[in-house]
A and B are shown apart, each in its own frame.
Chain A
Amino acid sequence: VASILVVEDEALIRHLVVDTLTDEGHKVIAAPSGEDALTQLETQTPDLLIVDLRMPGMSGQEFVRRQRERGDPIPVVVLSGSSEAKQVGRELGAIAVVHKPFDLDELIRIVGRATNG
């Protein structure tokens, strides 16, 4: 069981990730933007960040950079439909990249590996 923060602007995807991972027994919180996520991180430190890249306002990359400036780096899983997700994920030092549209089992598997490792 791990604590996870999901940063995703698209409501349906956000709900899906939260509901699916909660169902798997994880403690999941969510934020619709990078700005909102940074606020939440002031009061709690999850084990894993699941981050969308392309969001209005602060991008996923920017959010990850800011998080690392503020405190101990939290492992990141990138969740994106961008064709450059893999490249950006590598640059960010993400432990995994989940491509949209994704399979729920795949998401569960990747998050499981990320939190156990």
Chain B
Amino acid sequence: VPVVTTSLAIGALQALHTFSRSVAIARSLDEIFDASLACVADSLRVERSSILLLDGADVMRFRAWTGLSAEYRTAVEGHSPWAPDTLNPESVLVPSTSSDLSLTELRPVLDAERVKSVAFIPLTTSGRLIGKFMLYYDAPHEFTDDEVLVAEVLGTHIGLAVDRYRSSESAALNEQRQRALVDSMGVAAYVTDEAGVITYFNEEAAALWGRRPVVGRDLWCGSWAMFRPDGELLPHDQCPMAIALKEGRPIRDVEIVAERPDGERAHILPFPTPLFDSTGRLIGAINVMVDITERQRTEAERHELLKAERAARAQAEAAVRARDQFLSIASHELRNPVAGLRGAAQLLQRMLRRGDPKPGQVERYTDALVETSGRMARLLDDLLDVARLESGQLSLHPEETDVLAMLRSVIDECRTQGATQKFDLIAETRSATILADPLRLRQIVANLLDNAVKYSPNADEICVTLRRNAQGLALEVLDHGIGFPPEATDQLFVPFGRTANARSANVPGMGLGLHISRELAEMHGGTLRASSPGEGLGARMILTLPTAGPNAN
């Protein structure tokens, strides 16, 4: 290593010191070039110098100069003593331009610019040529080893400064590109550094989070709070982005629920992806967040709609079945009495026309007319009641009603209508007055007693018990008739829901009475229940009614 003369060394060091300070705060390449030329002039004591860089087409272009004319620059631009791909190019020194054969072609230009000596110092990064700087002398110049050494040190430093500026510029450009990309995605996205610190987020992300995280401080995710889909709190350091960074792999197929500061929640599908540099080092991560709240809501709505549609269809099908059942039962229950009425009327008419009314027959058929038309009138009432109950058009008119007096009256009526059973009325309470619609309550009681009579064809005893309980009154009607299988209990209260044994016992009826009675009892705020130990073992009906009467409605 040649020993540099002290004065040159001190000047060079001072110039390099100034140069490195300038480079540190340089905001453009031009500022770096200006500092470079100043450094060259100071340390090598030359008046004219220039800096050229290879452009994108590997052509040397002037980037900065002192003391050179435009004509000269135009004439020599592009000239280089090295091929662009030369590795570790060496300085080319021309002590006298007039005696150097390689510059013969340029001599007129050099002469015109009064350049008598010149030095080509390569600018390199990692041994690769990126440009050169030039020294120009008015007279032939013998280059000392010191000068060459200082010039080459300067070349190295200028090369480094240019390279550093360029890579910081390309880093800035990369970041700019990344931000433009994130901004233009149209979905929420953000970027973190390798530690998970958020470095950038787009407006969609801010809208999704309902807040703006602090860039350079907030970690992993900008949401206020996070939950797993099952509602369990998800700590920020366990969020998909944190895991992607920790494990260095993209995370997919995870759903999270993000809560905004205003409490609103969003269902999110995150796509966190770690980013690596060319050496494979983790440098950060990007996360794209797809808001699936709306999609989920739509799916839930569609599901609800489908369910409602199925329910409506099932209801419609049930209605059709009920109608078919009604038609089947009504046709049987109505055709027989209508056939009876018609036949009886015709028979009476024939006898009258012939003038031969047979006394036994006249009585039988007029009785039948009265009895059958009465039965049909009750049937019609029941049907209308069912229709009114179903459409909610049946209203109660409650008043103070003595249930015990009513019971006695209904039992008397049963006897009048030919009931042969013995009625055993037990009143365990003397205060049997409640608030109830007397006509409707009578309908319930009459129905219970009629049933007890109808289904006790063998003239057994019917036991009626009235007692008071905490809420009001309980009326129990116990018969020893045909009963019903316990599993048919619910069926009793369904419209037209007659049990098989009731049908086969040839007891007339459409199966509406108990349905109507229970509905009326419930409208009164009461209940109606039935039980039987089994077929042929009798039935027990228990009606409860609150003293206070129907709930206000």
Contacts and interface: CB of A to CB of B under 8 A. Distances in A.
B347 A100 contact: no
Contact of A12 (B335, B340, B350): B340
A19 B339 contact: no
Name A's interface SS.
Answer: loop
B465 to A, nearest CB: 32
A23 B339 CA distance: 19
B178 interface: no
Interchain residue pairs A-B with the least CB separation, the first 3:
A81-B335, A101-B339, A12-B340
A19 B361 contact: yes
Contacts of B336: 10, 12-13, 81, 100
Given A9-B506, A81-B331, A83-B331, A104 B339 contact: no
A16 interface: yes
A102 B344 CA distance: 11
Given A54-B332, A56-B506, A101-B335, A10 B340 contact: yes
A9 to B, nearest CB: 6
B361 A100 contact: no
B503 A16 contact: no
5 contacts: A20-B347, A81-B331, A81-B335, A101-B339, A101-B342
B173 interface: no
A100 B335 contact: yes
B347 to A, nearest CB: 6
Contact of A104 (B335, B346, B364, B506): B346
Contacts of B503: 56
B504 A100 contact: no
B347 A104 contact: yes
Interface in A39-66: 54-57
Interface of B: 331-332, 335-336, 338-344, 346-347, 350, 361, 364-365, 368, 372, 503-506
A100 B337 CA distance: 9
Nearest to B337: A12
A90 interface: no
Nearest to A33: B506
B371 to A, nearest CB: 9
Contacts of B332: 54, 81-82
A104 B341 CA distance: 12
A17 to B, nearest CB: 8
B503 to A, nearest CB: 7
A16 B338 contact: no
A91 interface: no
B505 A13 contact: no
A82 B365 CA distance: 24
A85 to B, nearest CB: 10
Contact of A16 (B331, B344, B505): B344
B51 to A, nearest CB: 111
A106 to B, nearest CB: 10
A103 interface: yes
Interface string A66-84: 0000000000000001110
A103 to B, nearest CB: 7
Q: Which of A12, A19, A23, A82 counts the most chain B CB atoms within 10 A?
A: A12
Interface string A1-18: 000000001101101100
B342 A103 contact: yes
A82 B344 CA distance: 20
Nearest to A107: B343
Contact of B347 (A16, A54, A55, A102): A16
Contacts of B335: 81, 100-101
Contacts of B338: 100-101
A11 B87 CA distance: 126
Given A54-B332, A81-B336, A100-B336, A13 B343 contact: yes
A96 B165 CA distance: 114
Contact of B343 (A55, A57, A81, A104): A104
B347 A19 contact: yes
Given A19-B361, A81-B331, A13 B339 contact: yes
Contacts of A13: 336, 339-340, 343
Contacts of B346: 103-104
A66 B257 CA distance: 76
Given A12-B344, A56-B505, A101-B341, 9 more contacts: A9-B506, A12-B343, A12-B372, A13-B343, A16-B343, A54-B332, A82-B331, A100-B335, A100-B336
